[in-house]
Amino acid sequence: MHAVFGLKDFVFLLSGLKWTILLSAIAFTGGGIVGLLVAVARTAQNAWLRRAMIFYIGVFQGTPLLMQLFVVYYGLGLIGIQVPAWAAVTMAFTLNASAFLGDIWRGAIQALPRGQTEAATALGLPMISRMRDVILPQALRIAQPATVGYAVQLIKGTSLAAIVGFIEVARAGQIISNQIFAPILVFTVVGAIYFALCWPLSLYSARLEAKYAASR
């Protein structure tokens, strides 16, 4: 009964940490790519496209991440796509990230002076080039602090994968805690691991924000 928190347990936590980092990285990359499309569509000329994106973003921002996880997790199997749990979880986080990043970048695109688009159009640049060479490089720069801030939200959010049984660092903590009956100690260590991951990013985001505030 008197098991102690040993090296073996710590190594198990670290193996969970590996999945937390991997899940966050994949969701951030995938969500970034889809999110870019969402942001462009959200600011497009076509009203239907814009409305569809308002709806898409609204659904993801208006429902709990945990429910999104459940719906994708059970919904994929339902439409006949048999995927392992980790793939379903990754997909849910990717979709969520695409909505949030899409909305952050939408804000940045709209914050640019209209003259930027007008000048690019006057120069005869086609839509793709206008976005790729003129608008997005500036918008993504403005959005840097919020983008890094969202990465923190995403890393914390991946802990919810524990509830569907995916063994990342929070789930690994639960398992160890059940084995050695030291929940307070174990969850302190788990919290410290997340803190070590998130705090540097938060500080970086705050520094970027201060830098842009000063340059304005």
Partner 1 sequence: MGYELDFSVVWEHLPALLWGCLGTLGLALAGMTLAMGIGIAGVFARGSNLAWVRRLVIAFIEIIRNTPFLVQIFFLYFALPSLGLKLSPTITAIIALGLNGGAYSIEIIRGGVQSIHKGQVEAGLALGLHKGQVFRLIVLKPALRAIYPSLTGQFIMLTLTSSICTSVAAYELTSVAQRIESDTFRSFEVYFTVTLMYLAISWMLMTAFAAISRQYFNYPTR
Binding site for partner 1 (CB under 8 A): 59, 62-68, 70-71, 74-75, 78, 152, 156-157, 159-160, 162-163, 170, 173-174, 183-184, 187-188, 190-191, 194-195, 198-199, 202
Q: Which is nearer to partner 1, 20 or 131 (CB)?
A: 20
Torsion of CA 54, 58, 61, 63, to 10 degrees: -160
**Which long-range contacts (C-beta less than 8 Å, at least 24 apart) are formed by 19-23?**
19/86, 19/166, 19/167, 19/168, 19/169, 20/155, 20/158, 20/159, 20/168, 20/169, 20/170, 20/197, 21/197, 23/86, 23/89, 23/90, 23/93, 23/158, 23/161, 23/166, 23/168
Q: Which is nearer to partner 1, 12 or 194 (CB)?
A: 194
Distance in angstroms (rounded) separating the CA atoms of residues 105 and 129? 18
Q: Which is nearer to partner 1, 27 or 160 (CB)?
A: 160
Distance in angstroms (rounded) separating the CA atoms of residues 8 and 179? 12
Residue 108 Cβ, how far from partner 1 at the closest point, in Å? 18
Q: Which is nearer to partner 1, 44 or 66 (CB)?
A: 66
Residue 80 Cβ, how far from partner 1 at the closest point, in Å? 8
Q: Which is nearer to partner 1, 40 or 89 (CB)?
A: 89
Token digits for 165? 């049984």
Residue 157 Cβ, how far from partner 1 at the closest point, in Å? 7
Residue 132 Cβ, how far from partner 1 at the closest point, in Å? 32
Count Cα neighbours of 171 within 13 Å in the Cβ-side half-sphere: 17
Residue 170 Cβ, how far from partner 1 at the closest point, in Å? 6
Q: Which is nearer to partner 1, 136 or 162 (CB)?
A: 162
Q: Which of 116, 104, 115 shows the shortest CA–CA distance to 142? A: 104
Residue 37 Cβ, how far from partner 1 at the closest point, in Å? 23
